[in-house]
Amino acid sequence: MKRLWLLVLLAALTGCAPGPQSAMNAGGPEAHVIADLMRNFTILLGVIFLIVIGLALAALGTRRHRGMETLAPSPDREAKLTRIVGAASVLTTVILLGLIVISVSAGKALSDRSMPRNALTIEVTASQWWWYVRYLNDDASQIIVTANEIHIPVGRPVMIRGTSQDVIHSFWVPGLSGKRDLIPSRVTTVWFQAERPGRFRGQCAEFCGLQHAHMALWVVAEDEAAFEKWRAAQLQDAHEPSTDSERNGQQVFLGSECVLCHTIRGTAAHGQVAPDLTHIASRLSLAAGTLANNRGNLAGWISDPQSIKPGNHMATVPLEPDQLQSLLDYVGSLQ
Amino acid sequence: MTSTQVSEETNRQALERTWASPRGLLGWLSMATHQAIGRRYIFTAFFFLLVGGVEALMMRMQLAKPDNTFLGPARYNQIFTMHGTTMMFLFAVPVMEGMAIYLVPLMVGTRNVAFPRLNAFGYWMYLFGGIFLYAMAFTAAAPDAGWFAYPPLAGPQFSPGKGVDTWAQMITYTEISALCVAVELIATILRMRVPGMALNRIPLYCWSMLIQSFMVVFAMPAVMVASTVMLLNDRTIGTHFVNPWEGGDPLLYQHVFRFFGHPEVYIIFIPALGFVSSILEVNSRRPIFGYPAVVLSQVATGFIAFGLWVHHMFATGLPQIGEAYFTAASMMIAVTSGIQIFCWLATLWSGRLRMTSAMYFVFGFVFIFVLGGMTGVMLASIPLDLQSHDTYFVVAHFHYVLIGGALFPLFGAFHHWFPKITGRMLNERMGKISFWLLFIGFNVTFFPMHILGLNGMTRRIYTYPAELGWGDANLIATCGAFVIAVGGLVFIANAAATLRRPADAEADPWNGSTLEWATSSPPPPYNFAYPPVVSSLTPMWTDPQLRTVVTGMNTDRREVLITGVTEGEPQFRTVLPGPSIWPFISALGIGIGFAGSVFAFSWYFVASALGTIGMVGWFWPRSSGRLKS
């Protein structure tokens, strides 16, 4: 019995090493504050739990019952027990008050942020089942629009201003900070900052319908130079097709329903209801974190989006094999 | 035979005639004894527990490995919605009510609940609500917006079809039922106790049910406002209470729903605390330590439970000062639970334990519930909640507090009172085997979920990719779920095998402390030949013969004694109504109307009309109920 327990515990602990979406794999000050608080709570409460269970099990070692007699509790013993129970209750209250204080002060550390001068403000608008991302800037020509992927410079505070187009979603990148609901007709905010370069996966945390499971995003933290390079690239219009196949692919794109929903800046495609594809090839994933971004997955996604992410709002556009190959060449070139 | 014996025998026969239920199908539908209604509640609720359990197993099979295709997204969303809805509304609350309907009149020493026909009506409403939900789910309209149905997802635009309407209307049925029971129990506990049972001699279980019933009275109307007034009207007649695009507010729904939703947890859990107190008292052979402290902390729990709903909404971004208040309230409720745990530990330590299977379940309860309480304290902290809210950490937490806090005590209670209800003793050995299977299976299933949650696994996702490293823990959890299922089967087998044996249980097999053990197992329809008079908290221990009794009550009509609220002094006798078909007809009429209203608003008029006919029949004036001999 004991061995089974150990095995289960071990498997539970090791089989679950923190992955790219773990809150225990903190990548910034906000996530650290919470992870530290979690560790302190766990240790303290774990000790209390063990004491209580120890006391309950130890009672099994006391005198057992014989026959049907009942006990008239002795006044002395009752008085002693009253003192012990009273002391334990007071102690519980004091511990909980202490926990309230450390919890509220951690909460203040997370939320009391005046707008730092170098902060990056990113607007995130959730829809069923993807994320519209816009980097705000006083200079309109510097505004970046992308989807399902956020790049941030290491060491700079980031404010997410979130809202939703349809149902309630929740923006959650566990490695960087706690979650915040994105609610239609409201704007909510969350702050975070990355302390090291890396990729942090996030996922919608509020049940939002059929494809709630496939509504992820990536936050890529990189050093200032890499970030600036990325930003400059994103500001560009789409890559002009440079081969015949890419040119054919562009024609396929512009000649099909694709343009009704998607935008490729620098072309006639200005659809606003689906992710902006201007720099789709530079992203890590397709279909809001559902598939790794490579040619094979892209082919599968374009040919049959409904079997990969059933119920999503992307139409299945019938294409001839050669049209599909050209389209893949073109979309794959949109760095 | 002495003359006293002769008169006792005549008394008994007269009571038997007076309290007998009619026979035949019509008689069965008319029954209004608390025993019959209680048994029906318990049986129906256990049936729904099985259904909800099968739904849980299907979810666990889908999640056993990454990118699994056992259930598609549509089916998965329906099943988790049905699982939550079934467990909360069709199992947990009704089963606690059923146990109380059965046990409370026995414990306070009366012959039926205060309003027997209302009691029958409540049961039928519950049954029809359950049938309605599943009939709709199996035909076309399984709800799929979660057991909480947050708009706008649950609104007309994003959940077309009848699924969410069905969900919202099912709440109306079960809620009426819950309110009926609450009213019954409050009146029964406050006014129908035996003489001498002052407030400080009410069994702890009855205290729990009294507190729970008051909570039902205040909490259930809130969910009716949320699900029926706001959501259903938005969906069916185009109001815009919670429609953000027409000036409504989806967060308003969350506030009102959670104002019910959090107390709901305590509505399920407080009766279980009563089970624990009863089982512990009888099997540690001493009165529960700290009776006033236990009662007062439960009363305090009842109040505080209404002041912490916002901890379900920390992620919505409310002002910080308000949130801090809700953190404090959520943590302070741990003090009241702590005091009760300490009192029970003191009882254990100063008693002489008899380890029946019911006691095994109580120890299981302590282990699981205390662990769930600890994670509850974590979730009360806003920063920790922002990471763990809507993840498997929360799934682990609330299964620890609901299964550990309510289901384990319920199973313990089942073993403890099974002889009283059926006249047969469950097999103790099988009881203990089922305990170990359930206990181990439970922890194997739900402990890994804490880690999954911290590793970022969100709730209500029908699948997950392999590279997030959640596969192993999910597989372990699925294996655990099947161990739970085996434990459940052993439990059912035990009950089924026992029911085939002759009813030979003694009146008082455990040498219990409270009045339900004073009458035969199972009790006669009138419960007690003479209502006893009590002079202590544990009457069966201080005066096992119950020498002082109430005499002089009429036996040719259904007479019960009404006593004072505080002192339990006899005040007057009243006659309870007997069996009647009308509660069934009323419930049927209203039930049909409610079901139809999902399709067309005009069915509400049908409900009113049919309900009115039923009520007229129900309240048609009759003679005083004196039997014509």
* Closest Cα in chain B, distance from residue A246 (Å): 32
Residue B607 within any structural domain of the chain: no
Which of A1, A95, A181, A290 is the best mutation test for B, with the most CBs of B within 10 A?
Answer: A181
CA pair distance B150, A66, nearest whole angstrom: 56
Instruction: Kindly tell me if the per-residue pLDDT of B29 is higher than 80.
Output: yes
Residue B203 belongs to domain with CATH number: 1.20.210.10
CB contact (8 A) between residue B73 and residue A310:
yes
In A, minimum Cα distance to B465 occurs at A290
* Closest Cα in chain A, distance from residue B369 (Å): 10
Task: Give residue B406's domain range.
Answer: 34-579
Pairing of strands A158-164, A120-127: parallel
Tell me the sheet residues that pair with A263: A270
Question: pTM for the whole thing?
Answer: 0.94
Nearest to B469 among A4, A17, A59 (CB): A17
Instruction: Kindly tell me if the per-residue pLDDT of A107 is higher than 70.
Output: yes
Ramachandran quadrant class, B501 (left: phi over 0; alpha: psi -120 to 50; beta: rest) = beta
CB contact (8 A) between residue A64 and residue B352:
yes
What pLDDT is attached to residue B69? 93
- Tokens 């979810």 locate to B59
- Among A residues 192-251, those touching chain B with beta carbons less than 8 Å apart: 201, 203-213
Three-state secondary-structure class, residue A221: strand
DSSP string, B324-350: HHHHHHHHHHHHHHHHHHHHHHHHHHH
The letter for the amino acid at A170 is S
Nearest to B463 among A46, A209, A213 (CB): A213
Chain B residues lying within 8 Å of A203, measured CB to CB: 456, 458, 461
Structure tokens at B334: 């741990």
- Tokens 């923006």 locate to A171
Question: Could you tell me which of B173, B41, B50, B36 has the C-alpha nearest to residue B95?
Answer: B41
Residue B623 within any structural domain of the chain: no
Listed in sequence order, the residues at least 6 apart from B24 whose beta carbon sits closer than 8 Å to its beta carbon are none
CB contact (8 A) between residue B378 and residue A45:
yes
Q: What band does A143 get if pLDDT is binned at 50, 70 and 90?
A: very high
Question: Could you tell me which of A151, A167, A263 has the C-alpha nearest to residue A208?
Answer: A167
Which of B257, B289, B326, B381 is the best mutation test for A, with the most CBs of A within 10 A?
Answer: B381
CB contact (8 A) between residue A96 and residue B334:
yes
Residue B98 within any structural domain of the chain: yes
Listed in sequence order, the residues at least 6 apart from A7 whose beta carbon sits closer than 8 Å to its beta carbon are none
Q: What angle do CA A279, A285, A290 make, to 5 degrees?
A: 140
Nearest to A183 among B250, B377, B385 (CB): B250
Listed in sequence order, the residues at least 6 apart from B329 whose beta carbon sits closer than 8 Å to its beta carbon are B304, B307, B308
What pLDDT is attached to residue A74? 83
DSSP string, A94-149: HHHHHHHHHHHHHHHHHH-----TT-EEEEEEEETTEEEEEE--SSGGG-EEEESE
Structure tokens at B302: 């009842």
CB contact (8 A) between residue A89 and residue B338:
yes
The letter for the amino acid at A117 is R
For the ranges A2-11, A208-217, A226-235, A317-326, the lowest mean pLDDT is seen at A2-11
Residue B584 within any structural domain of the chain: no
Residue B592 within any structural domain of the chain: no
What pLDDT is attached to residue A9? 57
CA pair distance B90, B44, nearest whole angstrom: 8
* Closest Cα in chain A, distance from residue B368 (Å): 10
In A, minimum Cα distance to B246 occurs at A185
Residue B232 within any structural domain of the chain: yes
**Residue A91 contacts B where some CB pair is shorter than 8 Å:** no
| Whole-number percent of chain B with pLDDT over 70 | 98
Q: Cis omega (within 30 of 0) on the bond before B502?
A: no
Q: What band does B627 get if pLDDT is binned at 50, 70 and 90?
A: very low
Instruction: Kindly tell me if the per-residue pLDDT of B483 is higher than 80.
Output: yes
**Residue B65 contacts A where some CB pair is shorter than 8 Å:** no
> Over the stretch A217-269, which tens digit does the pLDDT of each residue have?
999 999 999 999 999 999 999 999 999 999 999 999 999 999 999 999 999 99
What pLDDT is attached to residue B180? 97
**Residue A124 contacts B where some CB pair is shorter than 8 Å:** no
**Residue A2 contacts B where some CB pair is shorter than 8 Å:** no
- Tokens 């054919």 locate to A248
| Whole-number percent of chain A with pLDDT over 90 | 82
In A, minimum Cα distance to B374 occurs at A45
What pLDDT is attached to residue B355? 93
* Closest Cα in chain A, distance from residue B436 (Å): 11
In B, minimum Cα distance to A181 occurs at B316
CB contact (8 A) between residue B345 and residue A56:
yes
What pLDDT is attached to residue A72? 75
| Whole-number percent of chain A with pLDDT over 70 | 93
Q: Do residues B103 and B417 touch, judged by C-beta distance below 8 A?
A: yes
CB contact (8 A) between residue A104 and residue B332:
no
Listed in sequence order, the residues at least 6 apart from B381 whose beta carbon sits closer than 8 Å to its beta carbon are A37, A41, A99, A103, A106, A107, B327, B331
CB neighbourhood size of B177 (10 A)? 28
Chain A residues lying within 8 Å of B287, measured CB to CB: 73
CA pair distance B545, B507, nearest whole angstrom: 13
**Residue B353 contacts A where some CB pair is shorter than 8 Å:** yes
* Closest Cα in chain B, distance from residue A212 (Å): 6
Helix intervals (H) in chain A: 2-14, 29-59, 75-111, 224-235, 244-254, 258-261, 295-303, 305-308, 321-332
Q: Cis omega (within 30 of 0) on the bond before A20?
A: no
CA distances from B357 to B127, B160, B362 (A): 31, 48, 9
What pLDDT is attached to residue A6? 55
Listed in sequence order, the residues at least 6 apart from B43 whose beta carbon sits closer than 8 Å to its beta carbon are none
Chain B residues lying within 8 Å of A72, measured CB to CB: 286
In A, minimum Cα distance to B348 occurs at A59
**Residue B286 contacts A where some CB pair is shorter than 8 Å:** yes
**Residue B325 contacts A where some CB pair is shorter than 8 Å:** no
> Over the stretch B194-241, which tens digit does the pLDDT of each residue have?
999 999 999 999 999 999 999 999 999 999 999 999 999 999 989 999
CB neighbourhood size of A131 (10 A)? 25
Q: Encode burial over B414-446: b for 16+ CB neighbours within 10 A, e otherwise.
A: bbbbbbbbbbbbbbeebbbbbbebbbbbbbbbb
Q: Do residues B378 and A45 touch, judged by C-beta distance below 8 A?
A: yes
Residue B612 within any structural domain of the chain: no
CB contact (8 A) between residue A207 and residue B387:
no
Three-state secondary-structure class, residue B569: coil
What pLDDT is attached to residue A113? 67
CB contact (8 A) between residue B327 and residue A211:
no
| Whole-number percent of chain B with pLDDT over 90 | 86
- Tokens 């009241």 locate to B336
Listed in sequence order, the residues at least 6 apart from B308 whose beta carbon sits closer than 8 Å to its beta carbon are B262, B326, B329, B330, B333, B380
Structure tokens at B485: 């299922």
What pLDDT is attached to residue B276? 97
Q: Do residues B182 and B113 touch, judged by C-beta distance below 8 A?
A: no
Question: Could you tell me which of B127, B128, B163 has the C-alpha nearest to residue B145?
Answer: B163
CA-based torsion, A233, A237, A238, A241: positive or negative: negative
CA pair distance B100, B206, nearest whole angstrom: 8
CA pair distance B10, B3, nearest whole angstrom: 11
Number of cross-chain residue pairs from A and B with Cβ atoms under 8 Å apart: 295
Question: Could you tell me which of B103, B67, B125 has the C-alpha nearest to residue B185?
Answer: B103
Listed in sequence order, the residues at least 6 apart from A166 whose beta carbon sits closer than 8 Å to its beta carbon are A127, A128, A184, B152, B157, B158
CA pair distance B155, B241, nearest whole angstrom: 11
Mean residue pLDDT of chain B comes to 93
CB neighbourhood size of B156 (10 A)? 17
Q: What angle do CA B48, B53, B54 make, to 5 degrees?
A: 100
Residue B12 within any structural domain of the chain: no
**Number of domains observed in the structure of chain B:** 1
CA distances from A303 to A50, A333, B128, B271 (A): 56, 18, 47, 56
CATH numbers and ranges of domains, chain A: 120-227 (2.60.40.420), 244-332 (2.60.40.420)
